[in-house]
């Protein structure tokens, strides 16, 4: 599967299929690895849904701007908040948040402003309510929230989210109220940006991180989860390199949204670090890299952030609403 950036999550069904394999025969100790794999697929799907055909860095910059514009505790996409009440974020803060060069971010933000996707003043950048209320944006948010619901059902099938908090309210009216889409979207965007921040801390470069994660997903796409590690195998069990499915340069560029030459250059840098290698005409993330401290750190931090997100959703009563929805569809 090569395409990304549509409103149909490209990996949702594959993730559900893998969850069924894990649920059938994997003990609890297998779940951190399974959650990591599902979590990476989920993150890349959210990035793809946010792109709408745009460059991945533009999509990430817009997401950071929207989150930064919201007052603490407010919904980032609250259309009742006037543009004057939104908090601008400076180009310097944007560049620092994604560890990108200032001048590159400045150019990208001004191009986005020229397209009408944000407004730039001396105070910084703001995504106006008119953009947040545009049908294409609303459709993208709805698609991301639906992908999040599928992710929850996938993890629930693996018993990967035990002991989540109960809803904060016991009011029957609130417990049966519709899912608050704006609040879910805020929590989801916050989660995605936190996981990307973890990837930046581990890998140092957002383009490197996205290309590496896309390669990892492509290498194991359609392969079943292989179970829990033995005591002497480290935190995770992984497929041998010979079993991985190499991805060619052109499909990797299409999946990631980056230009072919950009992917080629970053792949060379990742191979020099031992995080990727050639396999025939394609690329794989080798087993040695997956067992290394960088990937293990990212996997464990990703699991922490995933539990944090679903804990927040549980307190809002969102998970209970999704459970009722699942029961009604059964």
- Buried b / exposed e over 222-246, threshold 16 CB at 10 Å, is eeebbbbbeeeeeebbbeebeebeb
Confidence check: pLDDT of 237 > 50: yes
According to DSSP, residue 276 is labeled -
**266 burial via Cβ count (<10 Å: 0-12, 13-18, 19+):** buried
What lies within 8 Å, CB to CB, of 162 at 6+ separation is none
Residue 231: the pLDDT is 53
Q: Give the residue-averaged pLDDT of 68-76.
A: 69
Question: 61-65, 191-195, 272-276, 297-301 — which is least confidently predicted?
Answer: 297-301
Residue 28: the pLDDT is 37
**Distance spanning both ends of the chain, measured CA to CA:** 29
Q: What pLDDT band is residue 240 in, cutting at 50, 70 and 90?
A: confident
User: And the tokens for 196?
Assistant: 């990307």
pLDDT tens digits, 14-56: 443 333 333 333 333 444 556 778 899 999 999 999 998 899 9
pLDDT tens digits, 170-205: 555 555 556 788 889 999 999 999 999 999 999 999
Pairing of strands 277-279, 282-284: antiparallel
Share of the chain above pLDDT 70, in %: 78
CA-based radius of gyration for the chain: 20
The C-alpha atoms of residue 242 and residue 264 are separated, in whole angstroms, by 22
Q: Give the residue-averaged pLDDT of 289-303.
A: 87
Q: Tell me which residue of 142, 122, 147 sits closest to 132, measured CA to CA.
A: 142
Residue 41: the pLDDT is 93
Residue identified by tokens 């950071």 is 64
The C-alpha atoms of residue 197 and residue 107 are separated, in whole angstroms, by 22
User: And the tokens for 61?
Assistant: 């910059």
What lies within 8 Å, CB to CB, of 143 at 6+ separation is 7, 8, 9, 49
Q: Write out the DSSP string of 82-129.
A: -GGGS--B-HHHHHHHHT--HHHHHHHHHHHHHTTS-EEETTEEE--H
Residues forming a β-bridge with 89: 125
The separation between CA 320 and the C-alpha centre of its own chain, rounded to angstroms, equals: 23
């Amino acid at each position: 599967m090569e395409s990304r950036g549509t409103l149909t999550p490209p990996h949702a069904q594959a993730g559900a299929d893998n969850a069924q394999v894990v649920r059938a025969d994997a003990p609890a100790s297998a779940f951190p690895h399974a959650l990591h794999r599902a979590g990476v697929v989920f993150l890349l799907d959210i990035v793809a849904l946010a792109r709408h055909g745009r460059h991945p860095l533009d999509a990430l910059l817009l997401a950071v701007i929207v989150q930064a514009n919201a007052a603490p505790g407010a919904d980032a996409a609250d259309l009742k908040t006037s543009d004057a009440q939104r908090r601008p974020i400076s180009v310097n803060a944007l560049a620092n948040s994604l560890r990108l060069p200032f001048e590159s971010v400045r150019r990208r933000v001004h191009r986005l402003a020229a397209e009408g996707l944000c407004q730039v003043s001396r105070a910084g950048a703001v995504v106006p309510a008119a953009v947040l209320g545009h049908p294409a944006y609303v459709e993208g948010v709805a698609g991301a929230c639906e992908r999040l619901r599928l992710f929850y059902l996938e993890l629930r099938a693996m018993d990967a989210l035990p002991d989540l908090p109960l809803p904060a309210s016991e009011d029957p009216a609130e417990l049966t109220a519709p899912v608050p889409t704006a609040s879910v979207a805020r929590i989801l965007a916050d989660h995605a940006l936190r996981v990307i921040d973890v990837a930046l801390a581990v890998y140092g470069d957002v383009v490197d991180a996205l290309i590496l994660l896309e390669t990892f997903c492509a290498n194991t796409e359609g392969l079943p989860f292989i179970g829990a590690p033995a005591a002497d195998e480290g935190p995770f069990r992984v497929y041998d390199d010979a079993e991985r499915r190499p991805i060619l340069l052109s499909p990797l560029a299409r999946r990631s949204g980056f230009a072919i030459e950009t992917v080629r250059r970053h792949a060379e840098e990742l191979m020099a670090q031992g995080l990727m290698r050639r396999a025939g005409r394609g690329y794989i993330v080798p087993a040695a890299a997956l067992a290394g401290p960088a990937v293990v750190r990212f996997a464990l931090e990703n699991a922490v952030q995933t539990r944090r997100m679903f804990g927040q959703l549980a307190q809002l009563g969102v998970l209970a609403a999704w459970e009722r929805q699942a029961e009604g569809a059964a």
